[in-house]
Amino acid sequence: MNYLKEIIDYGVIGLLVFMSFLSVWFFIERLLFFWKLDVKKFATKEELELKATSFLSLIATIAASAPYVGLLGTVLGIILTFYTMGQHGIVNTKEIMIGLALALKATAMGLVVAIPATWMYNYLVRKVEVALAKWDIEHAA
């Protein structure tokens, strides 16, 4: 049964770490894009918007789904704890609490991934709005 616990722990936590890596990677990529952005080079506002919003949906998806991935890990961990209790007849409160505490770490990790990803997404959405406003100003004259 320990191998199942390891699969749940490393699988869920590994997926959350990967999601975190992706969100940070694309956030940095978008920051570099906006740093070099010259709105004068775009003939249409739609073209600018398409380029500026690249990968934003991925960051938003990670922000929205990370808590659910963490919750899945917690639910699987709790199921495993109850299964182990049933198999071994564990009635020791200490062992139950340790199992439940370890299960909850997945939810915590999901939130650790989701909260910064939400901040990054919102920051980038504001950058898009500013870029589009600059395009309007440049092409109004």
pLDDT for 109: 95
17-66 tens-digit pLDDT: 999 999 999 999 999 999 999 999 999 999 999 999 999 999 999 999 99
Give the 3-state secondary structure of residue 36: helix
Distance CA 120, CA 109 (A): 17
On the question of pLDDT at 135 being above 80, the answer is yes
| DSSP H stretches of helix in 37-92 | 45-52, 56-88
Instruction: State the amino acid at position 130 in one-letter form.
Output: V
Phi-psi region of 38 (alpha: psi -120 to 50; beta: other; left: phi over 0): beta
Q: 58 near 120, Cβ under 8 Å? A: no
Q: What pTM did the predictor assign?
A: 0.87
CA distances from 88 to 1, 7, 104, 118 (A): 11, 20, 22, 42
Distance CA 43, CA 20 (A): 35
Instruction: State the amino acid at position 93 in one-letter form.
Output: T
pLDDT for 99: 79
59-117 tens-digit pLDDT: 999 999 999 999 999 999 899 888 888 887 767 788 788 878 888 999 999 999 999 99
Distance CA 57, CA 52 (A): 12
